[in-house]
Structure 1
Amino acid sequence: MNKQELVLEGLDCANCAAKIEHRVSKLEGVSFANLNFATKTLLIETDKEGSIDELIKKTITIVNKLEPDVIVKPKEKTVKINKNENISILLDGLNCANCAAKIERATNNLEGVNEANLDFVSKRLIIKTDNKIDHNYIFTKVKDIVNKLEPDVKVTLVKKLELRKSKAIMEKKEDGHDISHNEEHDHGHDHSHSHESSGEGLRSEIIKIILGIGFFSIPLIFDFSPTVELILFVTSYLLVGGEIVLRAFKNIIRGQVFDENFLMTIATLGAFAVKEYPEAVAVMIFYQIGELFQGLAVNRSRKSIADLMDIRPDYANLKRGEEFVTVSPEEVEIGDIIMIKPGEKFPLDGIITEGSSMVDTSALTGESVPRNVGKGDEVLGGFINKSGLIYAEVKREFGESTVSKILDLVQNAGAKKAPTEKFITKFARYYTPVVVIVAAILALLPPLILEGATFSEWVYRALVFLVISCPCALVVSIPLGFFGGIGSASKNGILVKGGNYLEALNNVETIVFDKTGTLTKGVFNVTEVYSEKNISKEELVEYAAYAESFSNHPIATSIISYFNRDIDESRIDNYEEISGYGIKVSVDNKNILAGNKKLMDKYRIGIKEISSVGTVVHLAIDGNYAGYIIISDEVKEDSKDAIKGLKSVGVKNTVMLTGDNKAVADRVAAELGLDKVYSELLPQNKVEKLEEIDKAKSQKGKVIFVGDGINDAPVLARADIGIAMGGLGSDAAIEAADVVIMTDEPSKIVSAINIAKRTRSIVWQNIIFALGVKVVVLMLGAFGIATMWEAVFADVGVTLLAVLNSMRVLKIKS
Structure 2
Amino acid sequence: MVTGFVGSFDESINIALYFVGYFVIGGSIVFKAIKNIFHGEIFDENFLMTIATVGALILGEYPEAVAVMFFYEVGNLFEDIATNNSKKSISALLEVKPVFATIKIAAGTKKVDPSKVQVGQIIVVKPGEKIPLDGTVVSGKSMVDTSALTGESMPRSIKENDMAMSGSINQNGTLEIKVTKVYSDSTVAKILDMVQNASSKKAPAEKFITRFAKIYTPIVVAMAAALAVIPPLFTGNWSEWISRALVFLVISCPCALVISVPLSFFGGIGAASKQGVLVKGSSYLEALNNVDTVAFDKTGTLTKGQFEVVKIVPVNGISRQELLGVAAAAEQNSTHPIAQSIVQAYNGDISKFEISESNEHAGHGLSAVVNGKQIIVGNNKAMAGIDFVENRDIGTVVYVSSDGDFMGSIVIADEPKTDASDAIELLHQRGIKSAMLTGDNEVVGRSIAKKLKLDQVYTSLLPEDKVNIVEELLASSRKNNKKVAFVGDGINDTPVLTTADIGFAMGGLGSDAAVEAADIVIMGDEPSKVSKTIRIAQVTRKIVMENISFAIGIKVLFLILGAFGIVGMWQAVFADVGVTVIAVLNAVRLQFLK
Question: Do they superpose with TM above 0.5?
Answer: yes
Are residue 603 (structure 1) and residue 385 (structure 2) matched? Answer: yes
Partner residue, 1:465: 248
Q: Give CA deviations for 1:727-757 in whole Å, capped at 9, x if unaligned.
A: 3574223212111111221112122212222
- Cα distance change, pair 782–658 in 1 and its aligned pair in 2 (3 A): same
- 1:620-659 mapped onto 2 (5 Å cutoff): 620=401, 625-651=406-432, 653-659=433-439
Q: Which amino acid aligns with 1:745?
A: E
Give the C-alpha shift of residue 517 in structure 1.
1.5
**Secondary structure of 1:637's aligned partner:** coil
Say whether the 8 Å CA contact 2:89–2:273 is kept in structure 1: no
1:710 aligns with 2:491: yes
Shift of 1:665: 0.9
SS of residue matched to 1:618: strand
Q: 3-state DSSP class of the match of 2:304?
A: strand
| Residue among 276, 281, 296 paired with 1:513 | 296
CA 472–728 in structure 1, closer or farther in 2 if over 3 Å, else same: farther
In structure 2, how many angstroms separate the alpha carbons of the residues matched to 1:622 and 1:256? 74
How far does residue 642 in structure 1 lie from its aligned partner after superposition?
Answer: 0.8
1:720 counterpart = 2:501: yes
1:514–1:271 Cα change, 3 Å = same
Q: AA paired with 2:306?
A: V
CA drift at 1:277: 4.2
Written as runs of structure 1 = structure 2, the 5 A alignment for 1:729-740 is: 730-740=511-521
Partner of 1:696: 476
Q: Which moved more, 1:264-273 or 1:653-662?
A: 264-273
**305 and 809 in structure 1: CA distance in 2 versus 1, 3 angstrom threshold:** farther
Equivalent residue number for residue 432 of structure 1: 217
| Mean Cα deviation higher: 583-592 or 615-624 | 583-592
Provide the C-alpha distance between the structure 2 equivalents of 1:299 and 1:505, rounded to a whole number of angstroms: 25
Q: 1:294 to 1:797 in 2, by over 3 A?
A: farther
Aligned pair partner of 1:364 in 143, 149, 159: 149
Residue identity opposite 2:581 in structure 1: L
Shift of 1:413: 0.9
Contact 1:724 1:741 in 2 (8 A): yes
1:457-606 aligned at under 5 Å gives the runs: 457-549=240-332, 551-567=334-350, 577-583=360-366, 592-600=375-383, 602-603=384-385, 605=387
Residue number in structure 2 paired with 1:170: none
Equivalents in 2 of 1:255, 1:624: separation in Å? Answer: 77
Residue 568 of structure 2 corresponds to which residue in structure 1? 787
Aligned twin of 1:751: 532
Q: Secondary structure in 2 aligned to 1:521? A: coil
Instruction: Give, in whole Å, the separation in 2 of the partners of 1:524 and 1:399.
Output: 30
Structure 1 residue matching 2:7: 3-state secondary structure? helix
Q: What residue in structure 2 maps to residue 214 of structure 1? A: 3
Who is 1:665 aligned against?
445
Structure-1 separation of matches of 2:83 and 2:25: 21
Tell me if structure 1 keeps the 8 A contact 2:489–2:509: no
Distance 1:693 1:624 in 2: 40
- Return the offset for 1:604: 5.9
- Relative to structure 1, is the Cα distance of residues 353 and 594 closer, same or farther in structure 2, using a 3 angstrom cutoff? closer
- Answering whether residue 193 of structure 2 is matched by residue 408 of structure 1, we say yes
Q: Distance in 2 between matches of 1:758 and 1:627?
A: 54
CA distance in 1, matches of 2:37, 2:346: 81
Q: Which amino acid aligns with 1:502?
A: L
Using CA pairs under 8 Å that are at least 6 residues apart, name the structure with larger relative contact order, 1 or 2. Answer: 2
From the superposition, tell whether residues 646 and 542 of structure 1 become closer, same or farther in structure 2 (CA, over 3 Å): same
Give structure 1 stretches of 5+ with no counterpart.
1-211
Write the distance in 1 (CA, Å) between the matches of 2:381 and 2:27. 82
Q: Could you report, residue by residue, the CA deviation over 1:236-283 in whole angstroms, capped at 9, with x for unpaired residues? A: 545544565566556657765323443233323333444444433443
Structure 1: distance between partners of 2:506 and 2:426: 17
Is 1:271 the equivalent of 2:52? no
CA distance in 1: counterparts of 2:591 and 2:86, whole angstroms: 9
TM-score (norm 1): 0.66
CA RMSD, 1 decimal? 3.3
State how 1:127-526 maps to structure 2 within 5 Å.
Answer: 212-218=1-7, 233-234=18-19, 236-237=21-22, 240-241=25-26, 244-245=29-30, 248=33, 257-292=42-77, 294-295=79-80, 297-299=82-84, 301-302=86-87, 305-307=90-92, 309-316=94-101, 329-330=114-115, 338-448=123-233, 454-526=237-309
Query: Match of 2:131, SS?
Result: coil
Change (3 A) 1:476 1:546: same
Per the TM alignment, residue 232 of structure 1 is displaced from its structure 2 partner at its CA by: 5.6
The alpha carbon displacement at 1:619 in A equals 4.1
**TM-score w.r.t. length of structure 2:** 0.88
Q: Tell me by how many angstroms 1:676 deviates.
A: 0.8
Contact 2:547 2:583 in 1 (8 A): yes
Q: Measure, in 2, the Cα distance between the counterparts of 1:573 and 1:484.
A: 53
User: Partners in 1 of 2:545 and 2:276 — Cα distance?
Assistant: 25
Deviation for aligned residue 1:685: 1.2
Change (3 A) 1:325 1:667: closer
- Cα distance in 2 for partners of 1:610, 1:247 equals 74
Work out the CA distance in 2 between the residues paired with 1:596 and 1:789.
Answer: 76
Tell me which amino acid in the other structure corresponds to 1:556.
A
Note the C-alpha offset of 1:397: 4.3
SS in 2 for 1:696: helix
Q: Which residue of 1 aligns with 2:580?
A: 799
Superposed displacement of residue 228, structure 1: 6.6
Cα offset, 1:382, TM superposition: 2.2
Q: Letter of the aligned partner of 2:47 in structure 1?
A: F
Kept in 2, the 8 Å contact 1:726–1:745? The answer is: no
Query: 1:446-486 deviations in whole A, cap 9, x for unaligned?
Result: 3446xx57333222221111112222222223223223322
Instruction: Evaluate the alpha carbon distance shift between residue 296 and residue 590 of structure 1 in structure 2; reply closer, same or farther with a 3 A threshold.
Output: closer
Residue-pair matches, total: 593
Whether contact under 8 Å (1:709, 1:734) holds in the other structure is: no
Quickly say closer, same or farther: Cα 1:633–1:252, change in 2 above 3 A: closer
Query: Once the 2 structures are TM-superposed, how far is the Cα of residue 523 of structure 1 from its aligned partner?
Result: 2.2
SS of residue paired to 2:505: strand
C-alpha distance in structure 2 between counterparts of 1:239 and 1:560, whole Å = 73
2:467 corresponds in structure 1 to: 687
C-alpha contact 1:410 1:490 (8 A) present in aligned 2? no
Q: Which residue identity does 1:519 align to in structure 2? A: L
5+ unaligned residues in a row in structure 2: which ranges? none
Following superposition, the deviation at residue 533 of structure 1 comes to 4.6
Q: CA deviation at 1:400?
A: 3.6
Q: Is the 8 A contact 1:319 1:338 kept in 2?
A: yes
